[in-house]
Each structure stands twice: as C-alpha cells, then as structure tokens.
Amino acid sequence: AVIRGNPLFFPNIAAQPDPPETASTNVQALLNVVDTQALAEVGAGLQNRNLNKQIAAAETAVPPPSLDRTFLNDIVAIDANSAGGTFLIVSRGRNQVVRPKLADPATGALNILNTAGDKVACRLQTGNLPSGVAMSEDGSRAYANNEANFSVTSVNIDDCSTLQLAIAPTTPPPHTHA
C-alpha cells in the first residue's frame, strides 16, 4: 500500500469461483482507494478499479511475443512518486510492472492506458516473482525486487525502459552435519 496525500492506494486481487477458467476472467487485478481521514473507500464500484478491464477493453494483440493483452494477476506491491501522479504496480504472477497515472484525484482512479487508450502505456518485464517496488523520490527510477532469481530490475520510469537486471551472487547452501 502507499499513501500520497490523503488517499491510501492498495493493490489486491479478486478470484472468480465459477467457470469459465480463462486468464482474462479467473483472477482480477484490483486497485482500491481509501480516504484516510474519513476511513472510507473512495469510488467504490468504479470500473477502472479493475485494471484487467482496462486491458481487455483496449488491447487486442495476443501474446507472445509482445506483452500486450497479458492480464495482471497476483498484484502485490505499489509505489508512487512524491506528488502521487505516477505509480508502479507489481504483478507477481506475470513478472511485470505497469505504470498507471492518476486519472481522477477526486476518486483516486488510476489509468494504465496510453493517451490513445489502445494499449497499456508502460508495461515492463521483470525477473522471476517480483515482490516489491521502490520508486526514487523524484519519480524517474524504480527498482523491483525479484525473489526467485535473487535479482533487481532497474526501471527508467520516464521512458518506460528496463535499465538492467542485476543478479545477486549466489552462495552455496549451508553445510549440514549428520
């Protein structure tokens, strides 16, 4: 979760218990907003709270090789620049981060689509199982922690590019005695 000003933004998921079992319907990536002064949800029921609906309505390409139309699942982390206008959300299930912008300060609605509204504005592949993200204070860089391959993905937020994937050196497992 992240607080910028009064609103608290937190990513979560909703699982669909009934068929059909498809990538676009089973697990939905949701972003909720709470007014920290009123202690109440803001904009409850807004369609843009479901980030996968934004993707489904705009993107038509079928992956791979592109990342287009890869639906977010298991979103686990969020961070924002200090002004609260640009965000990064981690999708652990898709090994990627997306960069939404604040679309409506009154409701806290975020928009992950480009200005043409035909694709996700910024979607970047990370290492395996990203579990967190931290954005620099000026909002120009970010770092996603990747659990499975002990790496960090460095992101240039301004131009939506991956700078590097830093792999931590591995050590041998601890020696056990019988």
Higher pLDDT, 118 or 174: 118
7-56 per-position pLDDT tens digit: 999 998 887 766 666 655 678 888 999 999 999 988 876 766 888 888 88
Higher pLDDT, 87 or 13: 87
Burial of 55 (0-12, 13-18, 19+ CB in 10 A): buried
pLDDT of residue 110: 92
pLDDT value at 118 more than 60? yes
pLDDT of residue 69: 77
Is 73 in contact with 29 (CB distance < 8 Å)? yes
The residue with tokens 């910024």 is 122
95-112 per-position pLDDT tens digit: 999 999 999 988 888 999
The amino acid occupying position 19 is P
Q: How far apart are CA 82 and CA 77, in angstroms?
A: 16
pLDDT of residue 170: 57
> Mean pLDDT throughout 118-133?
93
Is 144 in contact with 130 (CB distance < 8 Å)? yes
Least confident segment among 65-74, 114-123, 148-157, 160-169: 160-169
Q: How far is CA 147 from its chain centroid?
A: 16
pLDDT of residue 58: 87
- The two most distant CA atoms of the chain are separated, in Å, by 64
Nearest of 102, 99, 115 to residue 5 by alpha carbon: 102
pLDDT of residue 64: 66
pLDDT value at 65 more than 80? no
Instruction: Give the rounded percent of residues in the chain with a pLDDT score beyond 70.
Output: 83
The pTM for the full model equals 0.84
Return mean pLDDT, the chain: 85
One DSSP character per residue, 57-85 reads HH-----SSS-TT----SEEEEEE-TTSS
Phi, psi (deg, nearest 5) at residue 43:
65, 35
Q: How far apart are CA 126 and CA 121, in angstroms?
A: 16
In sequence order, the 6+-apart residues with CB closer than 8 A to the CB of 162 are 124, 125, 153, 154, 155, 156
> Mean pLDDT throughout 60-77?
80
